[in-house]
Structure 1
Amino acid sequence: MIDIAVVGYGFRGKVLSNLMLKMNKNVKISAIVDNRIEEIKNELGESSGHIDFYDTVDELLDHETPDGIIISTRCSSHAQIAIKVLEKRIPFILEKPVSTNLKDLMALKSAYERSGTEVAVPFSLRLNTLGQAAKEIAESGILGTIEHVQAINNVSYGSVYFQHWYRDDEETGGLFLQKATHDFDMIQYILKLRPIWISAVKSKQIFKGDKPAGLTCAACEEQDTCPESAILHREKGEPVHGEMCCFAVDTGNEDSGSAIIQYESGMHASYSQNFFARNKAATRMFRFLGYKGTMEFDYYTNRIHVNMHHTTRSEIYDIPFGDDTHGGGDIVVCQSLLDTITKGFPSQTPFEEAMQSALLCLKAKESAETRTFQEIKWSE
């Protein structure tokens, strides 16, 4: 059997562990680390009798050596837990962001280099069907060398970052780390160039206000009229992303941000993200421009457009969506861990690149807060 331990059995922990159980009949969830043990036992019912439960990752690592581990705790603890697992040289999946501060990121990098253990990160943009197809087109040479990148992420479900626990920016590290870490990684995946400078700005223009701290939609007098009301969305049968008031004094996180990244060749990429766009305004679009042609694709449509610059030829590729909620990316990251465990294969998301993405996000945040250009280098 393949023993898998899950550290943090929340939404993502369940998604990834259930996928692994479906993908390989030899997988067994042997242990769960969480602070809600009784609640989880009741949820799992009889199947919980075959699982060992622990309050902390230290207890797990003191008592067991699973074949692999899924780390899906809240963001601020990712790096610290990962360091402990790296010391045991157990391969694992680490949810993004891999760190929420530079000190922890430096310690994580050092632990990883000492350990040499394979780490898989659910960077779904590169792993899913659309990302793989875009990579294939870029590497075909049809566009020429990529010399400019434009990317936009208008998040249609952005209220989750103001109405759920994600509203705590001390926990999330801010929304560059929460969202742009995927997009920066996708740009890096295509370019394969070293980023050297970043400049960024961020704004909080919408999700702010003077409502009392801790206010929920259910307790608000505007629950029947507020466009963000969880009560109103539920009555309409629409998705509900949280119960807290996003116009209260205790909301954190910026609601838009932009960055410009310069790479070692001299080229640059521009990126912008927004968290109050809705409905058909939603997009997660990338545009890669070479001298010969431009490739544009959007994760909401799963369609790639290739337009040649020196002929009138254009091509459209409709890419099938993958078989999970991340376009197939979650399946790939789970398979990556299984392949590491059973075949010794390297991770399909090299951890060096995951840490590079986190560094870019942290430097973008610092740039926005200090109004300075930030050099991308591994030092404090």
Structure 2
Amino acid sequence: MINIAVIGYGYRGKVLSDLIVKLNENVKISAIVDPRKQEIIDELGVAAAHIRFYDTEDELLEREQLDGVIIATRCSTHAQIAIKVLEKKIPIILEKPVSTNAADLMALKSAYERCKTAVAVPFSLRLSPLGQAAKEIVSSGKLGKIEHVQAINNVSYGSVYYQNWYRDENETGGMFLQKATHDFDLIQSIVGLKPTWVSAMKSKQIFKGNKPAGLTCESCEEEDVCPESATLHRRRGEPVHGDMCCFASDTGNEDSGSALIEYESGMHASYSQNFFARNHAATRKFRFLGYKGTLEFDYYTNKIEVYMHHTNRMETYEIPPGNDTHGGGDIVVCESLLDTIRFGAPSKTPFEEALLSALLCMKAKKSAETREFQEVIWPS
């Protein structure tokens, strides 16, 4: 049997563990670390009888013989837990962001370089069929060398970052780490270049206010009229991302941000993200421009358009999404862990690049806060 432990059995931990069990009949979730032990036991029913529960990752790592670990805890704990697992030489699926602060990121980088254990990160944009197809077209050379990238991410479900625990900036590390880390990783994967400089700006114009800290929608006198009201969304049968007031004094996180990134060849990318766009305003669109042509695709349409610059030819590719909640990326990251365990294969999301994406996000945040360009280099 292939024994997998899950540290943090919330939504993402459950999604990934369910997928990895379905992918291989020899996989067993043998242990879980989560403070909600009884709730999880009730949820799993008879399946819980075969799982050992632990209060801490230290206890888990001391007592279990594991083939792999899924880390899906609160964001601020990712790096420190991953370091402990790396020291045990156990392959990992590590949720993004891989770290939320510079000190933890440097410690994680050092542990990885010392232990050289495979770490797979669920970078769904890179791993999805759409991202893979886009990279294949760019790598073919038909566009010429990529010399400019434009990207926009308007998040239609943005209230998730203001209505539950994500609203705590100490947990998220800010919205570049929460969202842009995916997009920066995709750009890096497709152009095959390292970022060298970044200039960024962020703002909080919508999800702010003076309502009482800790206010919930059901306790608010505006619960029947507020567009963000969880009460209204429930009545309409719409997704609910939490019950906390988006306009309370304790609501953290910026609600839009932009970055200009220079890469080692001299080319640059522009990126902008927004968290209050809704419905048909949603988009996650990328344009890669070479001298010969432009490639454009959007994760909301699963369609690639190629525009040739010196002829009137245009090509359209429809790329069906993968069969999971992350457009196919979660299946691939679970396959990556299994391939490492069974065959010693390297991660399909090179951890060096995941670390670099996190560094770029931290530098973008610092640039926005200091109003200065930031060089994207590791501290010596």
Distance in 2, matches of 1:233 and 1:194, equals: 42
Partner of 2:178: 178
Distance in 1, matches of 2:353 and 2:65, equals: 27
Identical positions, percent? 76
Secondary structure in structure 1 of the residue aligned to 2:158: coil
User: Within 5 A, what are the aligned runs for 1:97-176?
Assistant: 97-176=97-176
Secondary structure in structure 2 of the residue aligned to 1:31: strand
Distance in 1, matches of 2:220 and 2:140, equals: 55
Secondary structure in structure 1 of the residue aligned to 2:28: strand
Partner of 1:237: 237
Task: Compute the TM-score of the two structures, normalised by the length of structure 2.
Answer: 0.99
User: Within 5 A, what are the aligned runs for 1:302-321?
Assistant: 302-321=302-321
Partner of 2:252: 252
Distance in 1, matches of 2:287 and 2:65, equals: 45
Distance in 1, matches of 2:273 and 2:307, equals: 25
RMSD, aligned CA: 0.6
Partner of 1:87: 87
Distance in 2, matches of 1:237 and 1:363, equals: 40
1:322-341 Cα deviation digits (max 9, x unpaired): 10011110000000000000
In structure 1, what residue type is equivalent to 2:358?
A: A
1:223-242 Cα deviation digits (max 9, x unpaired): 11000001011111111111
Distance in 2, matches of 1:185 and 1:379, equals: 20
1:122-155 Cα deviation digits (max 9, x unpaired): 0000101100100100001000000000000000
Partner of 1:212: 212
Secondary structure in structure 2 of the residue aligned to 1:247: coil
Distance in 1, matches of 2:223 and 2:257, equals: 28
1:338-379 Cα deviation digits (max 9, x unpaired): 000011110000000000000000000000011110000111
Indicate yes or no: 2:367 matched with 1:367. Answer: yes
Partner of 1:189: 189
In structure 2, what residue type is equivalent to 1:59?
A: E
Distance in 1, matches of 2:242 and 2:288, equals: 35
Secondary structure in structure 2 of the residue aligned to 1:163: coil
Distance in 2, matches of 1:144 and 1:135, equals: 13
Q: CA deviation at 1:65?
A: 2.3
User: Within 5 A, what are the aligned runs for 1:32-111?
Assistant: 32-111=32-111
User: Within 5 A, what are the aligned runs for 1:275-314?
Assistant: 275-314=275-314
Task: Compute the TM-score of the two structures, normalised by the length of structure 1.
Answer: 0.99
Partner of 2:332: 332
In structure 1, what residue type is equivalent to 2:27?
A: V
Distance in 2, matches of 1:46 and 1:186, equals: 41
In structure 2, what residue type is equivalent to 1:297?
A: F
Q: CA deviation at 1:314?
A: 0.4
User: Within 5 A, what are the aligned runs for 1:346-357?
Assistant: 346-357=346-357
Distance in 1, matches of 2:246 and 2:216, equals: 9
Distance in 2, matches of 1:56 and 1:210, equals: 38
Secondary structure in structure 2 of the residue aligned to 1:159: helix
Distance in 2, matches of 1:41 and 1:369, equals: 44
Partner of 1:200: 200
Unaligned runs of 5+ in 2: none
Secondary structure in structure 1 of the residue aligned to 2:257: strand
Distance in 2, matches of 1:88 and 1:134, equals: 37
Distance in 2, matches of 1:318 and 1:44, equals: 38
Secondary structure in structure 2 of the residue aligned to 1:125: helix
Instruction: List structure 1 runs of 4+ shifted beyond 2 angstroms.
Output: none
In structure 1, what residue type is equivalent to 2:58?
A: D
Distance in 2, matches of 1:123 and 1:65, equals: 28
Q: CA deviation at 1:45?
A: 1.5
Distance in 2, matches of 1:155 and 1:42, equals: 34
Distance in 1, matches of 2:272 and 2:194, equals: 20
Q: CA deviation at 1:175?
A: 0.4
Q: CA deviation at 1:78?
A: 0.1
Choose 100-109 or 30-39, whichever is displaced more. 30-39
Secondary structure in structure 2 of the residue aligned to 1:332: helix
